[in-house]
Amino acid sequence: MFMQSSQLSTVDHSRAYGRFTYIYPVISRRSHGLSIGVNLSLDNRCNYNCVYCEVDRNTSVQRAEVDPDAFGRELFQILSDIKSDPHGPEVKDVTFAGNGEPMAVRCLDRCIELAARILSALGFADTPVVVITNGTYVHRSWGRRALTRLAAAGGQAWVKLDAGDQHRMTRTNGTEFPIERLEENILDASRILPVTIQSMFMKCWGKPPSPKDVDQYICCLKRLAASGAVIRNVQAYTVARQPRSSHITPLDGTALELIASRIQGEAGLPVETFA
Ligand code: SF4
């Protein structure tokens, strides 16, 4: 039997579920309910090092190749458990996220295809496959393959954009990845399927983002919109669980709503907030 939804919570996104390697069910604010999380980053590595990241990278983890068939067996198992449970919760989505960047995994396209097939075979045809990505592999051949497969499966891509200038992006995401390249990647991704932009706003050492930071972020959204990027919506959120860095704390709801109304008013994009 599937674990009761009361045993899951938005404040515990542990990757552990039974003996599963790839699957972790969570109650997700952004999915509005039960999300079947998929972690393909078995080595806990990521090409970003976000200040708000919750993944513990101090423990050494062995490198391991992703086995799409083993992932498929786990997904089939958990969805079968939920389906056979008369009190089983509604599954809102199957989301590739996890302990690193899912689009770094070269067999992501195969895993997406398997997920879509299993969902359909078990009667979850309306449950979407979601990929949460930092957008840095869109220009790679395997990244494009994954997005093309996702589009064919009617899935969704949620792409991280936390800043509108290189300085803040580097500070927030711990990366030198060029912001111009990220903008191009978001535009390219949106030519394959409409994208959701996910943006984190938080306090750093007790300070909220400066007006200049928000101005530059909104300019970036406006540039994307003016270039023809197809953006479904923006998810503006703040930290819900304590990140590794203790100087990162949540932004209060009023400040987040103010940023959201600027996004809506100035960039003309629909926004959902998660305070
Ligand atoms: S992209 Fe995601 S997994 Fe990678 S460091 Fe940032 S929050 Fe952590």
Task: Find the CATH number of the domain harbouring 69.
Answer: 3.20.20.70
Confidence at 46, pLDDT banded by 50, 70, 90: very high
Does ligand 1 come within 6 angstroms of the Cβ of 200? no
User: How far, in Å, from the CA of 228 to the mean position of ligand 1?
Assistant: 27
257-to-106, 158, 166, 272 alpha-carbon distances in Å: 38, 20, 24, 9
> What confidence score (pLDDT) does residue 59 get?
75
Q: How many domains does the chain have?
A: 1
- The closest residue, in CA terms, to atom 5 on ligand 1 is 49
pLDDT at 186: 98
pLDDT at 244: 81
Pocket test for ligand 1, best of 24, 38, 53, 241 (most atoms within 8 A of CB): 53
* 220 vs 17, residue with greater confidence: 220
pLDDT confidence bin for 13, thresholds 50/70/90: low
Rounded CA gap, 185 and 103, in Å? Answer: 12
Is residue 34 lining ligand 1, measured as CB closer than 6 Å? no
* 68 Cβ below 6 A of ligand 1: no
Q: Is 159 in the pocket of ligand 1 (CB under 6 A)?
A: no
CA of 50 to the centre of ligand 1 (A): 5
Name the residue range of residue 80's domain: 5-274
Q: With a 6 A CB cut-off, is 55 part of the ligand 1 pocket?
A: yes
Write the residue with the smallest CA distance to atom 2 of ligand 1.
Answer: 100
* Average pLDDT of the residues in 181-199: 98
pLDDT surpassing 80 at residue 266: yes
How much is the average pLDDT of 11-39? 84
Q: What percent of the chain has pLDDT over 70?
A: 93
pLDDT of residue 194: 98
> Over 80: is that where the pLDDT of 16 sits?
no
Any atom of ligand 1 within 6 Å of the Cβ of 50: yes
Q: With cut-offs at 50, 70 and 90, classify the pLDDT of residue 3.
A: low
CB 164 within 8 A of CB 220: yes
Average pLDDT over residues 194-202: 98
Q: Check whether 255 has a pLDDT greater than 90.
A: yes
- Structure token pair of residue 103: 């689009």
Residue 241: per-residue pLDDT: 84
Ligand 1 atom closest to the CA of 47, numbered from 1? 4
According to the model, what pLDDT value does residue 75 have? 97
Show contacts of 136-139: CB within 8 Å, 24+ apart: 136/47, 136/48, 136/101, 136/103, 136/175, 136/177, 136/181, 136/182, 136/185, 137/101, 137/103, 137/104, 138/103, 138/185, 138/186, 138/188, 138/189, 139/181, 139/184, 139/185, 139/188
Q: How much distance in Å is there from the Cα of 87 to the middle of ligand 1? A: 34
Nearest one of 200, 272, 182 to 235, comparing CA atoms = 272
**Cα 45 to chain centroid, rounded:** 16
* Residue whose CB lies within 8 A of the most ligand 1 atoms, among 49, 50, 169, for a mutation test: 50
pLDDT tens, 118-167? 999 999 999 999 999 999 999 999 999 999 999 999 999 999 999 999 99
Find the mean pLDDT for residues 232-256.
93
* Cα 137 to averaged position of ligand 1 atoms, centre (Å): 14
Task: State residue 181's pLDDT score.
Answer: 98
Q: What's the mean pLDDT when you consider all of the chain? A: 93
Residue among 40, 101, 185, 198 whose CB has most ligand 1 atoms within 8 A, to mutate: 101
Cα of 177 vs centre of ligand 1, distance in Å, is 13
Band of pLDDT at residue 242, cut at 50, 70 and 90: confident
